[in-house]
Amino acid sequence: MSFTQEIRQRRTFGIISHPDAGKTTLTEKLLLFGGAIQEAGAVKSNKIKKGATSDFMEIERQRGISVATSVLAFRYKDRKINILDTPGHKDFAEDTFRTLTAVDSVIVVIDVAKGVEEQTEKLVSVCRMRNIPMIVFINKLDREGKDAFDLLDEVEQKLGLHVCPLSFPIGMGYDFQGIYNIYEGNVKLFSGGSKKKLEETLEFEDLQDPELENRIGSPALNSLKENLELVTGVYPQFSREAYLSGELQPVFFGSALNNFGVQELLDCFVQIAPDPRPKKAEERLVKPEEEQMSGFVFKIHANMDPKHRDRLAFVKIVSGTFERNKPYLHVRLGKNLKFSSPNAFFAEKKEIVDRSYPGDIVGLHDTGHFKIGDTLTEGEELHYKGIPSFSPEHFRYINNADPMKSKQLAKGIDQLMDEGVAQLFTLELNGRKVIGTVGALQYEVIQYRLEHEYGAKCTYENFPVHKACWVEPQDPNNEEYQEFLRVKQKFLARDKRGQLVFLADSAFSLQMTQDKYPSVKLHFTSEFDT
Ligand code: G4P
């Protein structure tokens, strides 16, 4: 197969949702329809049900599973599909944001009864900012939920999307009978007592089939026809270009648990979803078809077993062919590195591969060379954009609880931060270290990992911060800037990349600072255009 054909085949995407909407179930059903697994239950959910640390540690202990489910690849209808797993738990939202830099499209899962929830709003806003093509899947139609049109309105208003239904439910909850596939123009109905059995699905080529009316009854058929008229009248016609440019989002309805609507979604997905997209580096736009290999690290997985301290760096290939044992330039270190056992991922396992193509994810064994955002190339100095840090929600001083182990502590903190577990800020005034996290759970995770992997002990101390703001560098002769640096010294810190950060202790003081020093530009993410 030619290099271009390899690229055109690939579909790399992520599934995002608020916890419990059905992301794990849908992932599993996609694998089932794709023939990648034989039975349900094969994909272990790696979500943290009660938000307890013990659950997280348990998951970490089963690291094999979570590494294997980080990327789920399978073949379906001449396509190579890579599903990138995103943690559902909100305390790990940063991890999800980073994974979204490596996808070419996403599927958004929404619970029909709960509608648009908080976590979905946040994740979709990130996708919207990056114009990532999105398909919406409204799940759990076997349950009583919101009216389909109300839900479509909610999706448009709360998520700021422009929807275009490509399927429509016949009934809902107890009366849920099936799905009209707008994209293909056919109908699928449940039959028999159990909605779970796929073999009991009945298919009708169109709405004219008299048997359809016999099955669902005239009221249901008439209501479906009315609804379809409304869909045609109200929503724009599907356009692949509009979907690919992030201006239009197709919507599917179904029930992942009952296998309903999943195949329609998958069949349409493989036809319309984008193949690997060009990616912006600081220097230029890089196209997948370029001969020279380039890729970037978007995730690092540590091995929790102290006897095997290696880590796995997940690299998304952006252009060219990645080859085993070929030297590549690690741009940040300015060093050439070779990889003798790059991993590729399949539904339930990982394997060593000789070649990977744009859209693929390779797992590289790493003994501490990689940080999130690092770029590999064949010599060109490229830096991929789009892996910014956001302001953490929680801030605490970290103290050494065992003076004999300060080296271990420093190394542990350094490596955990490289993995993106949390953010480290070093205060300008006194060099004290502050850890910023998205959720309180991470402090326990860090403490546990420092102790078990590095033999270091730490304690925390509260540090009240409202928001971390990245300070845009200014001309050193700017007097206002100099005054800001002098007056606010107590609140200034450096992040891990050495960027200056203002740690505002309240919304009020942030506002005051902005009013008093209007020429000092403060940003809520670490990446900004100057
Ligand atoms: P998540 O990854 O988005 O967090 O959600 P997950 O797939 O784990 O699904 C959350 C719960 O919703 C699960 O039930 C799952 O069985 C259920 N679910 C998923 N899809 C459907 C659907 O189409 N219809 C209905 N009725 N339920 C659905 P659970 O009781 O929390 O877990 P489990 O014991 O079933 O695993």
Instruction: Report the separation in Å between the CA atom of 256 and the middle of ligand 1, taken as the mean of its atom positions.
Output: 8
- DSSP category for residue 357: -
Determine the pLDDT at residue 368. Answer: 82
Classify the phi-psi angles of 455: left when phi > 0, otherwise alpha if psi is within -120 to 50, otherwise beta. left
Name the range with the highest mean pLDDT among 18-27, 92-101, 161-170, 211-220: 161-170
Task: Tell whether ligand 1 has an atom less than 6 A from the beta carbon of residue 255.
Answer: yes
Q: DSSP secondary structure string, 229-243?
A: HHHHHHSPPP-HHHH
Instruction: Report the separation in Å between the CA atom of 255 and the middle of ligand 1, taken as the mean of its atom positions.
Output: 10
- DSSP category for residue 325: T
Q: DSSP secondary structure string, 42-111?
A: -SPP---SS--HHHHHHHHHTHHHHHHTTEEEEEETTEEEEEEP---SGGGHHHHHHHGGG-SEEEEEEE
Q: Which of 76-85, 156-165, 317-326 has the lowest mean pLDDT?
A: 76-85
**What's the pLDDT tens digit per position in 156-170?**
999 999 999 999 999
Q: What is the mean pLDDT of residues 307-323?
A: 87
Q: What is the mean pLDDT of residues 368-394?
A: 87
SS3 486: helix
Q: What is the mean pLDDT of the chain?
A: 87
Higher per-residue pLDDT: 48 or 477: 477
- DSSP category for residue 428: T
Determine the pLDDT at residue 201. Answer: 77
Report which protein residue has its CA nearest ligand 1's atom 29: 20
Task: Tell whether ligand 1 has an atom less than 6 A from the beta carbon of residue 259.
Answer: no
Determine the pLDDT at residue 307. Answer: 61
Q: Is the pLDDT of residue 171 over 90?
A: no
Task: Tell whether ligand 1 has an atom less than 6 A from the beta carbon of residue 472.
Answer: no
Q: Is the pLDDT of residue 108 over 60?
A: yes
Of ligand 1's atoms, which has the minimum distance to the CA of residue 18?
3
Q: Which of 81-95, 220-234, 250-264, 324-338 has the lowest mean pLDDT?
A: 81-95
Determine the pLDDT at residue 64. Answer: 39
- DSSP category for residue 41: T
- What CATH code is assigned to 3-272? 3.40.50.300
- What CATH code is assigned to 281-377? 2.40.30.10
Every domain of the chain and the residues it spans: 3-272, 281-377, 394-529
Instruction: Report the separation in Å between the CA atom of 210 and the middle of ligand 1, taken as the mean of its atom positions.
Output: 36
Determine the pLDDT at residue 46. Answer: 46
Q: Which of 194-198, 461-465, 513-517 has the lowest mean pLDDT?
A: 194-198
Q: Is the pLDDT of residue 468 over 70?
A: yes
Report which protein residue has its CA nearest ligand 1's atom 11: 20
Instruction: Report the separation in Å between the CA atom of 278 and the middle of ligand 1, taken as the mean of its atom positions.
Output: 35
Higher per-residue pLDDT: 85 or 27: 27
H-helix or E-strand spanning residue 337: strand 335-337
Task: Tell whether ligand 1 has an atom less than 6 A from the beta carbon of residue 164.
Answer: no
* CATH (one of 3.20.20.70, 3.40.50.2020, 3.40.50.720, 3.30.70.3280) for 394-529: 3.30.70.3280
Q: Is the pLDDT of residue 130 over 50?
A: yes
Q: How far is CA 199 from the centre of its chain?
A: 33
Q: Is the pLDDT of residue 62 over 60?
A: no
66 pLDDT band, cuts 50/70/90, is very low
Strands 249-253 and 134-139: parallel
Which pTM does this prediction carry? 0.84
Task: Tell whether ligand 1 has an atom less than 6 A from the beta carbon of residue 53.
Answer: no
Of ligand 1's atoms, which has the minimum distance to the CA of residue 88?
4
Higher per-residue pLDDT: 509 or 172: 509
Residue 456 near residue 408 (C-beta atoms within 8 A): yes
> How far apart are the two ends of the chain, measured CA to CA in Å?
43
Q: What residues contact residue 307 under an 8 Å CB cut-off, 6+ apart? A: none
Q: Is the pLDDT of residue 234 over 60?
A: yes
Of ligand 1's atoms, which has the minimum distance to the CA of residue 26?
7
Determine the pLDDT at residue 159. Answer: 95
- Of 286, 246, 297, 360, the residue nearest 9 (C-alpha): 360
Q: What are phi and psi of 492, to 5 degrees?
A: -105, 145
Q: Mutation test of ligand 1: which of 20, 112, 120, 174 has the most ligand atoms closer than 8 Å to its C-beta?
A: 20
- Of 280, 315, 313, the residue nearest 295 (C-alpha): 315
Determine the pLDDT at residue 448. Answer: 86
Task: Tell whether ligand 1 has an atom less than 6 A from the beta carbon of residue 332.
Answer: no
Q: Is the pLDDT of residue 355 over 90?
A: yes
Higher per-residue pLDDT: 420 or 225: 225
H-helix or E-strand spanning residue 225: helix 218-234
Determine the pLDDT at residue 304. Answer: 54
Task: Tell whether ligand 1 has an atom less than 6 A from the beta carbon of residue 256.
Answer: yes
Q: In what order do the strands lie in the sheet with 492-494?
A: 458-462, 394-400, 433-437, 423-427, 492-494, 500-504, 467-471, 522-523
Report which protein residue has its CA nearest ligand 1's atom 19: 22
Instruction: Report the separation in Å between the CA atom of 37 and the middle of ligand 1, taken as the mean of its atom positions.
Output: 19
Q: DSSP secondary structure string, 93-145?
A: HHHHHHHGGG-SEEEEEEETTTBS-HHHHHHHHHHHHTT--EEEEEE-TTS--
242 pLDDT band, cuts 50/70/90, is very high
Determine the pLDDT at residue 164. Answer: 95
Determine the pLDDT at residue 161. Answer: 95
Determine the pLDDT at residue 47. Answer: 45
Of ligand 1's atoms, which has the minimum distance to the CA of residue 19?
4
Report which protein residue has its CA nearest ligand 1's atom 25: 140
Task: Tell whether ligand 1 has an atom less than 6 A from the beta carbon of residue 23.
Answer: yes
Task: Tell whether ligand 1 has an atom less than 6 A from the beta carbon of residue 81.
Answer: no
Q: What is the mean pLDDT of residues 344-373?
A: 87
Q: Which residues pair with 71 in a beta bridge?
A: 84
Task: Tell whether ligand 1 has an atom less than 6 A from the beta carbon of residue 47.
Answer: yes
Determine the pLDDT at residue 63. Answer: 42
Determine the pLDDT at residue 52. Answer: 46
Determine the pLDDT at residue 38. Answer: 65
CB-count burial class (<10 Å; 0-12, 13-18, 19+) for 199: exposed
Of ligand 1's atoms, which has the minimum distance to the CA of residue 258?
23
Residue 337, number of CB atoms within 10 A of its CB:
14
Task: Tell whether ligand 1 has an atom less than 6 A from the beta carbon of residue 21.
Answer: yes
Higher per-residue pLDDT: 54 or 223: 223
Instruction: Report the separation in Å between the CA atom of 135 and the middle of ligand 1, taken as the mean of its atom positions.
Output: 20
Of ligand 1's atoms, which has the minimum distance to the CA of residue 256?
23
pLDDT over 90 for what percent of the chain? Answer: 55
**What's the pLDDT tens digit per position in 8-18?**
999 999 999 98
**What's the pLDDT tens digit per position in 174-204?**
888 889 999 888 898 876 454 455 556 788 8
Instruction: Report the separation in Å between the CA atom of 26 and the middle of ligand 1, taken as the mean of its atom positions.
Output: 9
Q: Which of 134-148, 295-309, 411-425, 444-458 has the lowest mean pLDDT?
A: 295-309
Instruction: Report the separation in Å between the CA atom of 150 and the middle of ligand 1, taken as the mean of its atom positions.
Output: 23
